[in-house]
Amino acid sequence: MRTYKRTSTRGGYGSDVLQQALQSVKDGVPLIKVSRETGIPARTLRRHRDGKVNKPGAVSLGRHDSVFSSEVEAQLVEHIMFMERALFGLTTTDVRKLAFEMAERMKIRHPFNKHTSLAGSDWLRGFLSRHPCLSIREPTGTSLNRAIGFNWTSVNKFQDILADELEKKKYSAQQVWNMDESGLSTVQKPGKILAPKGKRQIGKMTSNERGHTTTVICAVSASGSYIPPLFIFARKRMNDQLMRGSPPGSIGMCTSSGWTDSEIFIKWLQHFVSVTRCSPDFPALIILDGHHSHKTLQAIDFAREHGITLLTLPPHSTHKLQPLDKSFFGALKSAYNVSTDSWLRCHPGKRVTTYDITEIFSQAYGKCATVEKATTGFAVTGIWPFRRDIFSYDDFEASRMVEFHPASNTAVAAASDAPAAIVNSEVQGSLASSTPDQVSAVPPEVQPASMNSEVQGSPVNPSNRSNSKKPCHPGLNEALQILAELSPRPKITVENNRKRKLETCAILTSSPYKLQLKEKQRTGGSQVRRKVGNKADEKTPAKSAKVTKSRKTTPRTAKKSIAVKEKTSTLVSVVMYNICKV
């Protein structure tokens, strides 16, 4: 029966207690005494002691046995969890196929279907019930850049800068802020609804097939305070009706694309100062992403004048280090979709336009802008209260699957000094935007031996090293080898083809960064002008050569030109003759 539920407690003591009881009997403890202490029937102990059962020391009820032993299933569970951490999670079909192939390779009797080469759904259901640590989940898409960019070295560098800044200026929770942008569409994502069972396609009303996006800038502090949002509309001119029903204190601006730019960011800084009243005597720390609109001299000068420190996050790491992304924007988007559904029900036959976004957003914002969500976002990222150990060894599993292959010979020589250079430490601008001397993504407590094992396809977790020294169960080595062949550990190869300097986390308002930005703008402009001048110089001789080439004569054109010259000279002589005659 698939839905069978046990009603008795037979064998509830488990195999571990049974093995300990048998060991006590073997050591000379009376069998009756062991039976009373452990609750195992004396008859059961005698049968296991005398070897009158198929599996002495194991609890087995009924005539049906599991296909794999508990040790082999434990290794399969560990492999499934590892693949999930590496962002290459196995589907239910993958697990069923893997179980079938393992049973075939290990020559184990099994009831699996040989025509489909899959383990049955009943086996999968029982496997999940035996291992409640596993469940079927819907994953969130994570780009390759994020998988590589979130590595131990870049996170450690950000934490070093943050710790120094917090210790230097003694910020309070009211002075630590996080700022980020998000998009609001006029077409919502419908949620789940009740519908007739068995119906194949379920619909839900939306405004249009494709919507218009409006950007909103939000900011939250570690104490739970919120800055009134700033809306960016994709328009040429601002209209007061666009802000109808918006949250109190909000402001609106327009750009041609509806996205943020350097001017919008400066306007937001002015809005931030007007709300927080920050100054050099009451400084503020703003943690934000490394978008190019945040890295201008005008924004840096304005922030320095008002005591604002701008700290950028490591590129491609905001999904782990951004407080707003961790606890606020997800709930805000869900509430915005619900509010849009309610608006459509209250206004049947009407479409959501740009003029309705702020009113709908205000309802969702009022539900989600809570102190709990703000403080939780800073806590889970380890920013406030500051926690350096907020991320574990397993959180960097995906970055350790990357093998870095520099393009130049010099880079190869530098990378060879580090055994098993698994991942570029700061692959943040692109997949190949790194330097070989920064190739490191494993915490220093992990020894090179374990790094080499990871490159070979069997990473060792420092917390489980003691388990690797235990004697293996009979057949476990074969199962591990077969498992490695059937479902190998993924490897990602990255080549350094990028010449542009990589981006990294930094304090934008620091003097070194400001000088570097000035030098970059100065040299960048001269290089552009020089490049344009060279192109102009190159075009001139090419043009003259083209003209010269076009003037090359052939025998036919030569005769024609001679005839023209003779005719011209004759006309000139006639004119001169007539003048002289006059």
The confidence band for 327, taking pLDDT boundaries of 50, 70 and 90, is very high
pLDDT digits (tens, 9 = 90+) for 268-281: 999 999 999 999 99
Q: How far is CA 268 from CA 1, 303, 321, 425, 508, in A?
A: 63, 11, 22, 33, 16
The confidence band for 475, taking pLDDT boundaries of 50, 70 and 90, is low
**Higher model confidence: residue 472 or residue 321?**
321
CB 151, CB 494: distance < 8 Å = no
pLDDT reported for residue 356: 95
Phi/psi zone of residue 570: left (φ > 0), alpha (ψ -120 to 50 degrees), beta? Answer: alpha
The confidence band for 494, taking pLDDT boundaries of 50, 70 and 90, is low
pLDDT digits (tens, 9 = 90+) for 105-121: 988 889 999 999 999 99
| pTM check: above 0.75 | no
pLDDT digits (tens, 9 = 90+) for 237-249: 999 999 999 999 9
Averaged confidence pLDDT in the chain? 80
pLDDT digits (tens, 9 = 90+) for 29-71: 999 999 999 999 999 999 999 988 877 888 877 767 788 888 8
Provide the residue type at 74 as one letter: A
Q: Return the structure tokens found at 157.
A: 């560098």
Peptide bond into 314 cis (omega under 30): no
Q: Return the structure tokens found at 426.
A: 């700061």
pLDDT reported for residue 508: 92
Q: How far is CA 256 from CA 213, 242, 426, in A?
A: 12, 15, 34
Separation between Cα atoms, residue 432 and residue 493, nearest integer Å: 10
From 158-162, 308-312, 368-372, 543-547, the region with the lowest mean pLDDT: 543-547
Q: Which residue has the tokens 């839905």?
A: 3
Separation between Cα atoms, residue 296 and residue 308, nearest integer Å: 14
DSSP sequence for 142-153: --HHHHHHS-HH
Q: Return the structure tokens found at 173.
A: 């929770």
CATH code linked to domain 151-190+211-380? 3.30.420.10
pLDDT digits (tens, 9 = 90+) for 420-469: 333 333 333 434 334 433 434 455 444 333 333 333 333 344 444 444 44
CB 310, CB 508: distance < 8 Å = yes
Q: Where are the alpha helices (DSSP H) in 287-432?
A: 297-305, 318-321, 323-327, 329-346, 357-368, 371-380, 409-415
For the chain, what are the domain ranges? 1-65, 151-190+211-380, 550-582
Separation between Cα atoms, residue 371 and residue 5, nearest integer Å: 44
pLDDT digits (tens, 9 = 90+) for 188-203: 998 889 999 989 899 9
